[in-house]
Structure formats: structure tokens, C-alpha cells
Structure 1
Amino acid sequence: MVLFPLFLKRFRRVVRMPLLKPAAASLSIVTYGVFSEYLLQRGNPQSGIHSLFTSLWWVMQTVTTVGYGDTPVVGLYARINGIFIMVAGIGSVGFLLANLGSNLIDNRLARKLGEARTKMKQHIIICNFNDQAAEIAHDILDEDIPVLILSQTKPRFEDPNVDYVNGTSLNARDLERSGISKCKTAVILADRRSEGEELSAVDAKTIVSISNIKKVNPNIYVIAELLSRDNEDAARNLGADEIIVRGNISSLLISNAVLNPGISKIYSELLSKDGKMRFEEVSVDDSFKGRTIREFHDHMEKMGKVLVALRRGDHMVIRPPLDSKLDYDFAILISQSDQ
């Protein structure tokens, strides 16, 4: 008995759905027509209706306006009833089809305008759209990973593997529509609307976004872009897994290029999607756990890959001692690009 009110509440919610009322009306007319015509025509040798199936066949011809004429209906009452089925059935089916078409158009328009809820799973969300976001999205799409852009600025490109939600990562409802609970990675780009906006204010929005995302999905991997190094600790404390300070990496590349000419070309080769070599992170197979790092290193070299670093959670060690035991979960490698 306790379940009945819950069922009734859910049923009322479903009844309010746009398509359910015309669908229920059409089904009711068809059901009424099948049984009423069968009862009125039963036992009449001149009638074409001799079973519930032939009655259904006649009703479906009638309400869909096909009218093959291979199933005659005879008798005054049966024909009067048939007139009612024609008027009510054609009207209800027409109303159902009109609602269906309207819903399809509305859903398509809502999706295009970013007002619909995404159906994506295991996707990557990019918060805040700009030229940088477009480049990131294109690079991710090359790996056949679905991408969703959450922004108040509509993306200037379309792709079947890209979804768009009009909103902001500062709003919990927008995050919900973006499928944040089923997402594996979120990239939060600095949302600077004007040159005059303070760096601390822009970073504050990024930090609040990190908090909102981690509240909904604590297991999501969050990559955040900051404009000031001063806010790095705050972002990390709220759960950011990786933090990129805008301008910091480019400054390091320039200074290294000055001191060590040619270094920037190596970075460009490894980080570019068009490069012949690339960085790759892979899970360490359980069969290597507890063995020496040298064994794993030699195994990777046989596969044509160079071991650069090992990672366990936030802890990373670059070029670890080869004779130590392997107790890390991920390996960062340099491998040949698929291109």
C-alpha cells in the first residue's frame, strides 16, 4: 500500500508528458474500435470481420486513412460506429503525429541551442569556449572521444561527436545537463570576458567551478587553467588533479630555448598531434607489480616505447631507479604516433 501513492505520483508525472495523452487517446480509440466492431459484426457472413485480428486490420486501415476496402462492414449500427471510429481515430492519430513531429523539432532545436540534456557517457567536458577550446576539442576528437562544450558562447564548429550545453560550470543545473556525473574528465578554461577583468576574479570562477564539479562527481579528473600562480594551492585543495597556469609553460619553453637551442622543437614534436612521437600514459599491468622497474623498462623498450616517469595518484617520479620495486599505477611513455 505504501508503494501505491508513489506509483500514482509517478503515473501523474508521466501523464503530463506531451506525447502520452495523444498516444493514450489513439490507443483507446483503436482498442474500442477493435472490440466494438468485432462484437457488432460477429456472426454476420457478409461482413469481412470474423476475428479480432481482422477487426484490428480494419480499424488500422480506417484511422490511418489507408482504406484498402478488402474488409467490408455491413449493418446500420456497425457503420454508425465506424463513422465515429473514423472521426475520432483519424483526429487522435493526426494529433499524435503532429505532437511527435513537434517534439522532434523542439528537441533538435533545443539541442542546437544547447538547452537539452546530453545523453553522452564517459565524455570530456570543456567548460568555457574560446579559440583555445576549439583547438583542444579537435585534438580530443582525433582520439575518437566524445566531447561536450559547456559555455554561454556557442561553438563555431559542429561535429557529430561534439555536444553543446548553453550554461556555466558555476551553475549546478547546467552541470547536471552536461552529464557531469557520467563524465570522466572536465577541463575548466579561464573564463575571462574582458581584458579589464581582474586575474583573481577569473581564477575565483575557476576555483568555484572545481568545487561544484567535485561535489557532484568526486571521481572525475579535473584539469583547470589558472591565470595566476597565487591561486594554485586553493585550486589543488578543492580537488583539481592538474593545474595549468596560462603563460607559465610558454615562458619556460622560451627560457629553455634561449639556454638550450632546439629544446622547444622537441617539446613541439612530443605535444603536437601531427608529431611523429608523442607522450602516452598507460596503466601498469598487475603482472609487473612487485617486480623491478628495469623489467618493465626493458619490456617497454622491446615495444619501441621509452619510459619517462611513473605515477601513483598525485605522486610522480621521473626516470625512477631501475633496480627499485615497481609499485606505481601508471607509466608515462614516449611512443611512436599512430599517424
Structure 2
Amino acid sequence: MIFNFFRQLQLHKNSDVYKRLQQILLYTLGINILFAVLFKNIEQVSWNEAIWQTWQTATTVGYGNKPAETLAGRIITMLLSTVSIAFVGALFGAVFDYREHHKTQKKLGFMNNPYKDGYVVFNFPGINIAKHFIDELRAVEHNVGICFVDNHIETLPDEIASLPNIHFLKGSPLQQQTYTNAQVNKNKTIIVFPVHHKTSTSDGSTKTTIDLLERFITSSTRVLFVLVDQSNAWMFDTNNATHVNADLSILAIVQECQDPYSAKVIEDLLYNTQGANPMTVTVNKLAGISWKDFQINMMHVLSDYKFDCNVLSIIRDGQSNSCPKPSEILEKGDLLSIATYDEFPWEDFEEKIIELQS
């Protein structure tokens, strides 16, 4: 707690509250040093005793185990105790004001993002979407830090701000300082929501944000964005970002109309809170095996395996194929999307399939 307090001090070192606290601390320290020097020389005691007597007097504890004996010593003791009452009170008041200032600055979004290896979300998507997003994300990454960056809201709603490891940053995507304060280069995933979820022109604002983001992020940082209008996808061809269609809910409804329960199946796969989730693994030892042999051998291995999984698709050159031909040969470097649980040991699983194949 004390270390956290001093770390917070550095965040406000240019504020009036910090300067006031600093002044009171310096005055209090100076007065106590002066008293210790005077007490030592007037009362002819050790430095240890002089400092101890100073602390007793300044804090009004007054143990009195070795009080001042000379007239001058008693006078300066009276002066220090009188002055200390005012300065100690002012010091506690300054600390309280600082803590309130820090809370207010954080609530209003004026504090830098304190999290690393977390998620930065541009444009607050609304309470329901944000709450759902956090719940699903935290089902897997329980304490991951999430920072919302927005210039259109004054504060985060209490339902979101009260959740642990949530931060709000007030900032415009058109300001360089926003990307620095959000520490986008130190977080693993950046998500850009549209400014207006039902307005296709919002894709233009998203494009600008992503272009600027790419100046600050590293190659290990993923950028995801929500696309309002699929016809605007061409604008992002040169960006190293992945888009998610804002109309997925509509697609789910259409699919459900064509095939009952299909939307429920997709939900089961996408919701972290439902259990099994899609996981992408890389083909290595399985290179050269046909899709048919892989599926057959996989079933044999799973019958005596403590883990369960199901293959959803093969991904090659960025393209997904959920229905490959039985004769399709797996190549080294191919990606497989499988539905399974956390910590599925894919490399061990590959080894067991190869053993069965041979």
C-alpha cells in the first residue's frame, strides 16, 4: 500500500495537489530536523535521543521518558508541539486531498493505462456489450487488465468501472498522446469498436484509428476491429488487422432460419463460459497424412485419451475450409481449428496419432 502510494505520487508530480503535499512534507521535515539539532545541543543528549524526543513531541505522543530539563529545551519543545499540531493536521489533510485527487483523475480518464499484456478497447461499446465482453474474456483470463479508451463519455458507467482491473482513458484517436498513454505497444490485443454501431461511415473512423495504431504497436500486438458495413472491407486491405462483422447476430438469425439449432451450436463454440472453445493448432508431425486418416486415427486416440476435442476446420494460406475432401493431405504449417478445453496437449496428441498411424 505504501509503495503504491509513492508510485501514485509520480503520476501527479506536476499537479497543484502534489506540490502542496510536497511543500508540507518539506516544511514538516525541516522543522523536525531543526528541533532535533537544537535539542541535542541544548540538552546535551545523543542523536538517537534527540530524534526520539523529536518524534514524541511532533506526534504529540509525549512518552516523557526523558523530557527537556533546561529552560531553552522546554521552550523549543513547547514551540515544536504547538507547530506540529498544525503541520501534522495539514499533512494528513494534504494526503487525503491527494488520494481524492487521484481517484477523481482516474475516474475521469486522466491516468495512463497501468496494465501490460492485456487488452485496450477503443470506443466504449455500451454497458451490455462491454459487460458481456469482460465476462467472456475473464472466463479464461481471470485477472487480465482491460483499458477502455474513449473521447465521447465522461466516465465509465459504475457497472463497468467497479469491476476489478478495469481502467478508463479519456483520449482522442487523433492525438498522439492517446496511444502513448494507453500503452498500446505493451499490450497484446487492441480492439476497435465503431463510434456508431449502426452507421456505416463509422468504418472510416475505424480505418483512421487502425492506421495510427500501426505506428505505435509491435509485431506481436494483435489488432481486431468491428466492421459495420462489409462493403467497406476494402479499406483495410493494407492493414495487418482482423475484422469482425458487426452483423454476426443477423447471420446467426439467417442461419437459424435455414438450419434449426445451428445458431445455438455456434454460440456454444464462441462463448468461453460454455466450456469448449475453438483453439488453433499447427500441423507439424502430422504432415503427409490424409484428412480421412487423421479423422479416423483421431477417434481411436480419443477413445483412450483423457482429453476431448473435435476438428472444426483446416486453415491454409489464411483461408478456412470446414469441409475438406477425405483425400486432402495435411501439410506442415497448416492450421487446424479444433473445439476443446483449455490446456489441450496438441503436440502429445500429434505424437499419439503418428504412433497409431505407423
Query: Structure 2 length normalisation: TM-score?
Result: 0.73
> How far apart are the structure 2 equivalents of 1:268 and 1:58?
70
User: Among 41, 46, 55, which residue is 1:60 paired with?
Assistant: 55
In structure 2, the CA distance between the partners of 1:38 and 1:322, relative to structure 1 (3 Å rule), is farther
Q: CA deviation at 1:274?
A: 4.0
> How far apart are the structure 2 equivalents of 1:81 and 1:182?
55
Structure 2 counterpart of 1:199, which letter? Answer: S
Q: How many residues align?
A: 308
Q: CA deviation at 1:88?
A: 4.1
Give matches, 1:1-339, under 5 Å.
Answer: 17-18=18-19, 19-42=21-44, 50-129=45-124, 130=126, 131-143=128-140, 144=142, 145-151=144-150, 152-153=152-153, 154-157=156-159, 158-192=162-196, 199-200=200-201, 202-219=202-219, 220-240=221-241, 242-247=242-247, 249-281=248-280, 289=284, 292=287, 298=298, 301=302, 302=305, 303-309=307-313, 315=318, 318=321, 324-327=330-333, 332-336=337-341
Q: CA deviation at 1:291?
A: 5.8
Deviations along 1:246-277, whole A, 9 cap, x unmatched? 21x34443443344443323212211344343
> How far apart are the structure 1 equivalents of 2:194 and 2:218?
21
Sequence identity percentage: 18
Task: Say which SS state the counterpart of residue 122 (structure 1) adopts.
Answer: coil
Q: CA deviation at 1:325?
A: 4.3
Structure 2 counterpart of 1:234, which letter? Answer: M
Q: CA deviation at 1:15?
A: 11
Deviations along 1:26-83, whole A, 9 cap, x unmatched? 22222222232112211xxxxxxx3212211111111112112222111122223323
In structure 2, the CA distance between the partners of 1:103 and 1:39, relative to structure 1 (3 Å rule), is same
In structure 2, the CA distance between the partners of 1:58 and 1:290, relative to structure 1 (3 Å rule), is same
Give unpaired runs (5+ residues) of structure 2.
1-9, 344-358
> How far apart are the structure 1 equivalents of 2:321 and 2:51?
74
The alignment yields a C-alpha RMSD, in angstroms, of 3.4
Mapped contact 1:126–1:133 kept (Cα < 8 A):
no
Structure 1 counterpart of 2:138, which letter? Answer: L
**Equivalence for 2:351:** none
Task: Say which SS state the counterpart of residue 65 (structure 2) adopts.
Answer: coil
Deviations along 1:150-180, whole A, 9 cap, x unmatched? 2333335120222222334343333333332
Give unpaired runs (5+ residues) of structure 1.
1-9, 43-49
Task: Say which SS state the counterpart of residue 116 (structure 1) adopts.
Answer: coil
In structure 2, the CA distance between the partners of 1:15 and 1:83, relative to structure 1 (3 Å rule), is farther
Task: Say which SS state the counterpart of residue 214 (structure 2) adopts.
Answer: helix
Mapped contact 1:189–1:206 kept (Cα < 8 A):
yes
> How far apart are the structure 2 equivalents of 1:311 and 1:90?
73
**Equivalence for 2:347:** none
Task: Say which SS state the counterpart of residue 225 (structure 1) adopts.
Answer: strand
Task: Say which SS state the counterpart of residue 79 (structure 1) adopts.
Answer: helix
Q: CA deviation at 1:310?
A: 6.2
Q: CA deviation at 1:108?
A: 1.3
> How far apart are the structure 1 equivalents of 2:315 and 2:94?
54
Mapped contact 1:170–1:205 kept (Cα < 8 A):
no
In structure 2, the CA distance between the partners of 1:173 and 1:305, relative to structure 1 (3 Å rule), is same
Q: CA deviation at 1:238?
A: 3.2
Q: CA deviation at 1:309?
A: 4.6
Q: CA deviation at 1:225?
A: 0.8
Structure 2 counterpart of 1:93, which letter? Answer: V
Task: Say which SS state the counterpart of residue 199 (structure 1) adopts.
Answer: coil
In structure 2, the CA distance between the partners of 1:176 and 1:56, relative to structure 1 (3 Å rule), is same
Q: CA deviation at 1:213?
A: 2.1
Structure 2 counterpart of 1:327, which letter? Answer: G
The structure showing larger relative contact order (alpha-carbon pairs under 8 Å, at least 6 residues apart) is 2
Q: CA deviation at 1:215?
A: 1.6
| 260-269 or 81-90: bigger deviation | 81-90
In structure 2, the CA distance between the partners of 1:181 and 1:86, relative to structure 1 (3 Å rule), is farther
| 111-120 or 65-74: bigger deviation | 111-120
Deviations along 1:109-147, whole A, 9 cap, x unmatched? 222233322312222122222132332122113331222
> How far apart are the structure 2 equivalents of 1:64 and 1:190?
56
